[in-house]
A and B are shown apart, each in its own frame.
Chain A
Amino acid sequence: MTSIFLQAFIYLVAAVIAVPVAKRLGLGSVLGYLIAGVVIGPVIGLVGEETTTIQHFAEFGVVMMLFLVGLELEPKMLWAMRNRLMGLGGLQVGGTAAAVMGIALFFEQPWTVALTIGLIFALSSTAIVLQTFNEKGLSKTEGGQNAFSVLLFQDIAVIPMLAFIPLLALPELIEQAQAAATTAAEHHEELSLVAGLPGWAYGIVITGSIIMVVVGGHYLSRPLFRFVASSGLREIFTATALMLVIGIAALMSLVGLSPALGTFLAGVVLANSEFRHELESNIDPFKGLLLGLFFITVGAGINFSVLFNDFSIIIGLTLGVMIVKALVLYSLALIFRIKGSDRWLFTLSLAQAGEFGFVLLSFSLQNHVIPAEVAQTLSLVVALSMFLTPGLFILFDKVILPRFEKTSNDRETDEIDDQGTIIIAGIGRFGQIVNRLLVSNGVKTVVLDHQANQVDVVRQIGTKAYFGDATRPDLLHTAGIEHAAALVVAIDHHEHSVELVKYVKHTYPKVKVITRAFDRGHGYLLRQAGADIIESETYHSALEIGGHAMKTLGLHPFFVEQQKTTYKRVEERKSDRLYAAWEDDSEDERFDNNYRDLFVRLEEVMAEEMKKDRSDKHSRSERGWTPPPKGYADTFDDDDQSFKTDH
């Protein structure tokens, strides 16, 4: 037990120190983890052999990552991206794999090994690239969007690769492995449902499992999540999410399929579910930590003696791989007419190998596809190319972008095709009206509510609604608050709505926050919290009712309308002064004497204003339509006018 604590502590300390430092230096968190691993492994030697065991465990982070990738992939979005995805992505993976394979063949590698190496280097680092795009605000550029399509294709392509690579196993490596296993006499059967089954039965079992994931994900998960959500216990929801992912991974391993494939499928199936954002925010921390652990073990496993012995070869290979990748990307950018600085962004951002490269490497090694010494060298090449990526981004920022900025200022402003979304927190009586107005006008809304049955109702009328507590930062994040145009706060809980406004205005000052207030005091609190627009939930309807009452008394509807307008104008001015008084008072004195006095005084102002006379004894509300005094025209002189009627 003590040793487990110690080891966990070492890993965590390394991550806690190295990752923030790497981030601050602009290297990104992936490199931070790798460096942490290098430090505790080969440099200080705090961890040793056990890293391989931990690495197998940490690979589960990759399974979770694919689940999350699946969750992000709504079939509709996938379809809309099909051209770029298949065209750019397909050609990139195919082209790079072929080019790298060619080079490997040139170095007299067997064709199976060469192909595997090609596939490994065809992949780029989703983690580094997407994170850097987000940090530098490049996600919405054309280069960024195209790079995303390629990364997405690569992430999906990993799944068939994982299925395909074992077929390339080298017979002599298998023999060696078996020999080693029998001598050690530790060889034991892996737990499997399909061992010893005939081919046709195996096919049925596999098809059945996949159908089970798809159908179960679609029909069974919702009642389950709803049942769990109704308990209102967050940790049980988290447990359910983990149970789902682990369960699918277990099922897939039992039937001899890749767990990553299974969870990816489950993710896609659940992408349309109202629980999607909640699932994402629950799984994401686990994924992050496990992937971090994975990268640490990769760093710890780097063999420095190999690096220093073959220093020039490894550096040469790294640069070679990056140049080949960049060439393939640049020609694709030419073919797909990606122009200007976007072409360079696309080329440079994807020129490294990626974390899936490590996964495929350790996977190939396990499956006896490539010899251990080749894997050692290649894993150094993958790591080095990732280390060099921040440099490429700096090159883009400092050298390439300035060159294009000069010329790009002349062109016309970009069409704004992304209108931005509105996030609506709370979809009760109030939020529903807001949502219906927006949706019927073609505005994209994301609706969040913590009552699963409420979400159901809204979903039935075709709105994208998600289950979850909108006051939780992680859920807001997965709902896309960074890119939202505005957040509408329509949740019932008074304090929570103030907290939510405070958090959003503090963290995302650019997002407009539109809120409803329950009463005057709540309105002031919201205003203090930084809300941009505050409407009292009773104000407008009460004014309407007052107007109806006046009309019932026989007053002219248009006169009533004017009086309502005047009321609103005075109220608006009044509320500013009242707010100032309220804010000046200390916490417990609020709504005390000072405020009360002012309130009474301003009520009198309202009454005066309603009757207020101008110099010509007419009410202010009808000021504009006031007729001139009787006999006013006597002063006009007919001869004085130069108006001619015969043009």
Chain B
Amino acid sequence: MSQKVLVLFAHPSQHRSEVNQLLFESAKQINGVTTVDLYAEYPTFNINIDREQQRLVDHDVIIFQFPLYWYSTPAILKEWQDLVLEYSFAYGPDGDALAGKAFFCSLTAGAKAEAYHANGYNHFTIRQLLYPLEQMASLTGMCYLPPFTLFGSRTALEEKRIDGHLESWRDLLRRLVAEKVELDIAASAEKLNHYLDTNPAQKVEAK
């Protein structure tokens, strides 16, 4: 048994990337994972709707990978939603193409983890800020998982936190392909990182 995983990568400034580029490159190396660089494929935002819908149909797990821009995705992912998630495809009558798939975001955020809190300067948790995407998953019948997140990403390189994050990213992707992630348990976590820390692969396998 194995699942097909689709990583839709959106980074408008890849030559400056310190984390996301590495995540994307390492995702390419994993069997069962399809990677799409949206800004490379559609530099003029001229998204091919049919091709993108086919990709969704062909995969079981959909991942948006991006650096957080103004508490949301970079523009092309919004454009992608507006174009690809058509009425009668993703929702509405007969719009069940996405039903039963799993969906989550893999994102990096510049602010430290403490800022994403009712008492922090960003006032909302990261999961709260992504409610529009959570509701998108809900309306299209997908199982929403909390985001896989690296906070304080602008200093991750200097603080040598990238290797650990890369390691859990590869672990996560491999487990998704092998269906070694308990979606129901993972769905209730605040961050996917927490689920991975508390439910290592061996423990899941033992069940």
Contact = CB atoms under 8 A, between A and B. Distances in A.
Interface of A: 565, 615-616, 623-626, 628-629, 632, 635-636, 641-643, 645, 647
A643 B135 contact: yes
A628 B91 CA distance: 10
Interface in B82-127: 82-84, 86-88, 91-93, 125, 127
Contacts of B82: 624-625
A623 B139 CA distance: 20
B29 interface: no
Nearest to B131: A645
A636 B140 CA distance: 11
B128 A647 contact: yes
Contacts of A625: 82-83
Contacts of A615: 88
Contacts of B190: 647
Contact of A642 (B47, B92, B93, B138): B138
B60 interface: no
Given A632-B92, A641-B138, A643-B138, A624 B127 contact: no
Interface of B: 46-47, 49, 82-84, 86-88, 91-93, 125, 127-128, 131, 134-135, 138-139, 188, 190
Contacts of A616: 87-88
A626 B87 contact: yes
Contact of B87 (A632, A636, A647): A632
Nearest to A623: B49
Contacts of B83: 623-625
26 contacts: A565-B46, A615-B88, A616-B87, A623-B49, A623-B86, A624-B49, A624-B82, A624-B86, A625-B82, A626-B86, A626-B87, A628-B87, A628-B91, A628-B92, A629-B87, A632-B92, A635-B92, A635-B93, A641-B138, A642-B138, A643-B134, A643-B135, A643-B138, A645-B131, A647-B127, A647-B190
A282 B7 CA distance: 56
A590 B163 CA distance: 61
Contacts of B131: 645
Nearest to A625: B82
B5 to A, nearest CB: 23
B97 to A, nearest CB: 15
B122 to A, nearest CB: 16
A635 to B, nearest CB: 7
A contact patch SS: loop
B93 A647 contact: no
A647 B138 CA distance: 15
A518 B30 CA distance: 46
Given A632-B92, A641-B138, A647 B125 contact: yes
B47 A624 contact: yes
B99 to A, nearest CB: 13
Given A642-B138, A647-B190, A624 B84 contact: yes
B139 to A, nearest CB: 8
Contacts of A629: 87
A628 B90 CA distance: 12
A624 B42 CA distance: 15
A641 B135 CA distance: 10
A348 to B, nearest CB: 38
B23 to A, nearest CB: 19
A625 B131 CA distance: 22
A626 B82 CA distance: 9
Nearest to A643: B138
Contacts of B87: 616, 626, 628-629, 632
A286 B57 CA distance: 66
Contacts of A624: 47, 49, 82-84, 86
A547 to B, nearest CB: 14
A618 to B, nearest CB: 10
Given A623-B83, A624-B84, 20 more contacts: A565-B46, A616-B88, A623-B49, A624-B82, A624-B83, A625-B82, A626-B86, A626-B87, A628-B87, A628-B92, A629-B87, A635-B92, A636-B139, A641-B138, A642-B138, A643-B134, A643-B135, A643-B138, A645-B131, A647-B128
B183 to A, nearest CB: 13
Contacts of B84: 624
A104 B147 CA distance: 78
Contacts of B88: 615-616
Contacts of B125: 647
B201 to A, nearest CB: 25
Nearest to B81: A624
Contacts of B139: 636, 641
A632 B82 CA distance: 17
Contacts of B86: 623-624, 626
Highest count of chain B CB atoms <10 Å: which of A623, A624, A635, A642: A624
Q: Which of A565, A635, A647 has the most CB of B within 10 A?
A: A647
Nearest to B46: A565
A569 to B, nearest CB: 8
Smallest CB-CB A-B distances: 10 pairs: A624-B83, A628-B87, A643-B138, A647-B127, A565-B46, A641-B138, A624-B82, A632-B92, A624-B49, A625-B82
Contacts of B92: 628, 632, 635
Contacts of B49: 623-624
A467 to B, nearest CB: 36
Contacts of A643: 134-135, 138
Contacts of B135: 643
B57 to A, nearest CB: 17
Contacts of B134: 643
Contacts of B93: 635
A391 to B, nearest CB: 43
B133 to A, nearest CB: 12
Contacts of A647: 125, 127-128, 188, 190
A419 to B, nearest CB: 14
A632 B131 CA distance: 22
A120 to B, nearest CB: 53
A443 to B, nearest CB: 15
A626 B86 CA distance: 8
A624 B81 CA distance: 9
Contacts of B47: 624
A410 to B, nearest CB: 17
A642 B84 CA distance: 24
B154 to A, nearest CB: 25
Nearest to B47: A624
B14 to A, nearest CB: 15
A431 to B, nearest CB: 23
A641 B138 CA distance: 7
A548 to B, nearest CB: 18
A628 B127 CA distance: 28
A645 B128 CA distance: 8
